[in-house]
Amino acid sequence: MLANTFQKITEIDYIKRFFKDGMTIMYGGFGGIGTPPGLVDAIIESKIKELTLIGNDTGFPDIGIGKIVTSKQVKRLIVSHIGSNPNAGKFMTNGELEIEFSPQGTLAERIRAGGMGLGGILTDVGADVEVVRRNKQTCEVDGKTFLIETALTADVSIVHAEKADPYGNLIFSKSARNTNPLVAMAGKITIAEAEEIVPLGELDPEGIITPGVFVDYIIPSKGVNWKWVWEQK
Amino acid sequence: MLANTFQKITEIDYIKRFFKDGMTIMYGGFGGIGTPPGLVDAIIESKIKELTLIGNDTGFPDIGIGKIVTSKQVKRLIVSHIGSNPNAGKFMTNGELEIEFSPQGTLAERIRAGGMGLGGILTDVGADVEVVRRNKQTCEVDGKTFLIETALTADVSIVHAEKADPYGNLIFSKSARNTNPLVAMAGKITIAEAEEIVPLGELDPEGIITPGVFVDYIIPSKGVNWKWVWEQK
Amino acid sequence: MGLGAEIRNKIAKRAAEEIEHGMLVNLGIGIPSLVPNHLPSGKTVMFHAENGITGMGPSPVKGQEDSNLCNAGGYPVTLQEGASYCDSATAFGMIRSGKIDITILGALQVSGSGDLANWIVPGKRVPGMGGAMDLAAKAKKVIVVMNHCDKNGSSKIVEVCTLPLTAKSCVQMVITEMAVFEVTPEGLLLSDIFSHYSVDEIRVRTEVQFGISESLRTLTY
Amino acid sequence: MGLGAEIRNKIAKRAAEEIEHGMLVNLGIGIPSLVPNHLPSGKTVMFHAENGITGMGPSPVKGQEDSNLCNAGGYPVTLQEGASYCDSATAFGMIRSGKIDITILGALQVSGSGDLANWIVPGKRVPGMGGAMDLAAKAKKVIVVMNHCDKNGSSKIVEVCTLPLTAKSCVQMVITEMAVFEVTPEGLLLSDIFSHYSVDEIRVRTEVQFGISESLRTLTY
C-alpha cells in the first residue's frame, strides 16, 4: 500500500469538484500525445461548458483534447494550430468558437512564463506578421523590436505522466513529454494523470522532470482509450 | 578509443584561441560548485584582460570564477551577489571593477532568455526597489507593472558537466547542475568541461539535461583543484 | 495537384545535398519527410522535432510503433544514437537561438526576395501557424521544396506574396520539380535545372525574373 | 552582537511551529538553519534551495560530504526522500510562482508595515541581493528571525526602514529573542512573549507601537 504522505493521490471523482463552467483549463500534449485520457473523459462527463482551453493544438476529433472540442464544451481556445481537428475549424467558421493563435514556440514560452511567475517574454517571432502582432505592446531592445507576449496561467492544468510519486514528482515518456512540464507549472491547480504511481524515493532525483511542488493532485490512469491516426486503416 | 563524430571533443590548448581581451564570458556555477576548474585556469593562464563576466556569483577568492576576479582580469561583472568574495567587493570599492547586480532569479531567467533566443522577460521582482529598477523599461500587464529585463548572451560560455557524449549532450552532478544548463545555452561558443566523456548513445535520452546542440566543444576535466570552504580548517 | 513519387524524391534528393555532416535539421511534412532517404551514409545528421526530440530516426517497422515516440505530426519515429528529449519550450529555444542549421519546408508562395507564405489560405483553410513562423524566421537556412506552379498553373514563385506571410525574407533556396533557385540580395539566381526542362521553359513558368548562375548545373537524376 | 546558542534555538523552535506538514520551506543562513532541528517527527517538510534542490536534508556526517551536493550557501547537505534537482531558473520559478509556503530569513530592519531591509549596508557592505528579493517578495509567508535590537541597542523593528529595502510589505511575522509579532493591516500585533520578558520591556525596546493579541501566549521554552 502506497503511503499518501502528501494527500495528493486521489481519484477522478474527487477531482471533478474543480471543474466549473467558464473556467480556463490548460492541457499537456502535442497532437494528442501526452494528453491525459482519463481527465479528458472526466471533463466531458462533467458536462461543464463555456471553457477556455490553452494548449499546443486541438488534437484530432476523437483524440486527446479534441474530444472536448468535439463535445462543444469550449468557448475559446488559445493554441498554435487546429489543422488536425476539422471540428475546431468548423466551429470557428460558424462563430461558435473563438480562437487565439500563437506561434508554437511563443505559446510554449507564454505557458512557461505563467508557471515561472513571470509577466511574459519578449520575442520577435511574428513581430512583422499582422495576425501575431495585432495590438500587442512592443518594446525596443538594442534597436530591435520585440513583441511583449504575456504569460498564460489556468484555473486547472491537466497533464499525463509516465510515473508519479506521492509528492507529485513526475517523469514523462519519450516525446509525450512535449508541453506537459510547462503546463504542469502553469495551473493554479495542477492534476497529473499517471500511468504508474511509485513510492516516494523511487524516482531518481536527477531524472525528475516536474518537481512535485507544481503538482496538486495525482490520479491513476487507465491508459489511452482512443485509436491513433496511424493505427486506423 | 572514443569516436569524435562531431569534432567537438578537444583539448584546453585548442580552446585558448577563443579567449580574447575584452570579451564576455558566462560561467556556470553557484558558490564555485559547478564552475569548470580547468577552463578557469586556462583563462587565467591566457592572461586575457578587461573581461565582462556573467554568472550567479563570484565564488570565493580561491574557488571557482573567484580566481579570475582575484587575478584582476575582470572589468565588469553581471552577478547576483559577491558576498563570498571580498576581492570583488574591494575592487568594486576602489573603482577597478564595475558591477551590475541582478536579483538571482531574474539573472537566471535573463541567461535562459539569451539561450532561448528571447529578447528578455517581464518580472515584478525588484520593480519597487531603486537599485534594481534603475532606468529599465517597464510595461503594464493586467494593471500590474513589470520590469523589462533583457536577455544575456556571451561570446563564450563555460560549464562543468558530470558526463558528456561526443554530440555534447550533458548531464550534471546533483546541485552542481545549478546555472550550468542555462549558461550552456547562452554562449555564442559553449565549452563544456566534463568529468567523463562517454560514447554516443550511452546517456539516457530521457535524462540528458543539456542537449548537445547547445555545446560546441568538450574538454576532459582533471577535476576540482581548489579546497572547498568546508574542507578548510 | 500533387507530384508523383519519383519527382518528389528527386526534389528531396536535391535538398539532401544541402545537408552537411553534423548539422541539426528540421523537416516539414510532405516532400521534406523524404529527405533522410537521400542522405549518403557516413554523414551523421541530427533531426529535430518541435515536440521535443533532438536526434529523430526513421519510422519504425510496422508493429514496433511506440505511441509515445512520435514526430511533430503525430506519426511514430525512432531515435538516433545521441538523441535526447526536451520539452517544447526548449525545442523552440533551439529554433529561436539559431541552432537549426537547415529547415526544409513546403510553401504556398515564395517571393523573389524570399518572403514565405505557407500557413494560411484566408477564407478557406485557417489551421493556425503551428511552428512555421518560428522555423521560417529563425532557422539558419530555409529551403522551400514545392511544386513550381499551383493547380491552376500559376507560378508559386511570385513578385509579391498575396497570401498572408509566414515570415519576411527568410527563404534562402527554392527547389521545385523544374529547378533550384538561390535567393540572393540581387534577387533569384537559377543554380540548378532538372534535365527535362530548359531555361526558357522555366522563365515562362516563373513569375519572377531571375539571374542564371555562372556554374548552372543540370540535374540528371 | 550575536545571540547565544540557547536563545538562537528558542527563536528557531518558535519559527518551526509555523511550519505545517507538506509545506515547501526556504531557510536563510544563520538562525533559520537551526529550524529543521525543531520540527516534530511525523511532519514531512520539503526544504528548498535556490541552487536547485527541492527536498534538502540535514548536513551529512563528517567525511560523507559530497562537494556536488551543497545548499545555496555552499555547504554540504543531504537529500530527503522525494527530492529532486532542477536548474536555478526553475528553483526561482518556484519562488516567483508562490510555491514557497514559508521563507525564514534574517533581517537588518523590519518596519511596522512589514517592509524588509536585509541585503545591504550602504558604504559598508554591498554584497548584492542574491535571492533575497525574489524570496521576500514572493514567498507565501515571510518570517523574519533576528535580534530585537542592533549592537547599539536600537530597535531593529522600525517605523520606516532607513536601509535600502529588499521588498515592501512582505513580512508576515517577526520572531526575536523577546517576542513574536504578526504584521497585520492594522500594524504589529504582539502574539507571543518569551517568558523572561514583560510587555513593558518589549515596548521600551521596540520603536514601533504594537497591539497585543487577545490570545497572547507566553513561551516558556
What CATH number has the domain bearing residue A203? 3.40.1080.10
pLDDT in tens, D115-166: 999 988 877 778 999 999 999 999 999 999 999 999 999 999 999 999 999 9
Kindly tell me if the per-residue pLDDT of B130 is higher than 60. yes
What letter does residue A2 receive in the DSSP assignment? -
H helices within chain B, ranges in order?
A: 12-15, 37-46, 66-70, 86-93, 104-115, 130-133, 180-185
Dist. CA C25–CA C55, nearest whole Å:
9
Amino acid at A164: A
Distance from CA of A192 to the nearest CA of D (A): 16
pLDDT of amino acid A32: 97
Please name the member of A118, A124, A206 whose beta carbon is closest to the beta carbon of B122.
A118
**Strand D109-111's sheet: what is its strand order?**
D116-117, D109-111, D157-158
Is residue B40 pLDDT above 70, yes or no?
A: yes
- Length of chain A counted residue by residue: 233
**Bridge-partner residues for B123, per DSSP?**
B147
Give the CATH superfamily of D5-61+69-219: Glutaconate Coenzyme A-transferase (3.40.1080.10)
Domain ranges of chain C: 5-61+69-219
Q: Is the ipTM of this structure higher than 0.90?
A: yes
For residues C22-27, give the mean pLDDT.
98
Angle at the Cα of D128 (from D126 to D130), degrees rounded to 5?
A: 150
CB C177 within 8 Å of CB C127: no
The catalytic residue among C6, C17, C18, C50 is C50
Report how many Cβ contacts below 8 Å link chain B to chain D: 147
Q: Is residue B65's pLDDT more than 80?
A: yes
| A146: in domain | no
Q: Is the pLDDT of residue B153 over 80?
A: yes
For residue C208, is pLDDT > 90?
yes
The Cα C84–Cα A137 span in angstroms is 36
Distance CA(A56)–CA(A107), nearest Å, equals 7
Q: How far is CA C220 from CA A8, B137, C10, C104, in A?
A: 65, 58, 10, 22
Q: Tell me if C85 and B212 make a contact (CB, 8 A cut-off).
A: no
Q: How confident is the prediction for chain B on average, in pLDDT? A: 97
Q: Which pLDDT belongs to residue A233?
A: 62
Domain count, chain A: 1
| pTM (two decimals) | 0.98
Q: What is the pLDDT of residue C1?
A: 46
- A205, D55: Cβ pair inside 8 Å? yes
Residue-wise pLDDT for A56-104, tens only, equals 999 999 999 999 999 999 999 999 999 999 999 999 999 999 999 999 9
Residue A85 domain-assigned (yes or no): yes
**Does B touch D (3+ CB pairs < 8 Å)?**
yes
Supply the range of the domain harboring residue A64. Answer: 20-118+151-223
- Cell for C187? 534577387
Task: Give contacts of C132 with chain A, Cβ < 8 Å.
Answer: 103
Q: Tell me: pLDDT of D1 over 50.
A: no
Window from A123-132, A191-200, B166-175 with minimum mean pLDDT: A123-132
CA distances from B69 to A122, A209, B92, D213 (A): 32, 35, 11, 52
Determine, for residues D165 and B129 on separate chains, whether the beta-carbon distance falls below 8 Å. yes
- Report the pLDDT averaged over residues B19-26: 98
Query: A–D: how many Cβ contacts below 8 A?
Result: 60
Query: Cβ C93–B212 below 8 Å, yes or no?
Result: no
Distance CA B158, CA B171 (A): 14
| CB neighbour list of residue C26: distance below 8 Å, 6 or more residues apart | C47, C48, C49, C50, C95, C100, C102, C103, C104, C135, C139
Least confidently predicted of B65-69, B73-77, B87-91, B228-232: B228-232
Mean pLDDT in residue range C114-135: 89
Q: Point out the residue among C84, C94, C138 whose CB comes nearest to the CB of B169.
A: C84
Nearest CA in chain B to A123: B118
Contact in structure between A21 and A74 (CB atoms under 8 Å): no
- For residue A214, which residues of chain D lie inside 8 Å, CB to CB? 94, 99
Task: State the average pLDDT over residues A150-161.
Answer: 98
- Three-state SS for C93? helix
Neighbours of A95 (CB within 10 A): 7
**pLDDT beyond 90 at C2:** no
Cα distances from A91 to residues A52, A83, A102, C21, in angstroms, run 14, 13, 19, 46
- Dig out the grid coordinates for D22 from the structure: 507538506
Average pLDDT for residues C64-84, to the nearest whole number? 96
Residue A182 near residue A153, CB atoms below 8 Å = no
**Cβ pair B105:D89 closer than 8 A:** yes
User: Is B118's CB within 8 Å of A118's CB?
Assistant: no
Q: Which amino acid is at C2?
A: G
Q: Which site among D46, D94, D97 would you substitute to test the A interface, given the most A Cβ atoms closer than 10 Å to its Cβ?
A: D97
In-domain check, residue B15: no
Question: C120 to each of A175, C69, C163, D210, how far by Cα in Å?
Answer: 27, 28, 7, 66
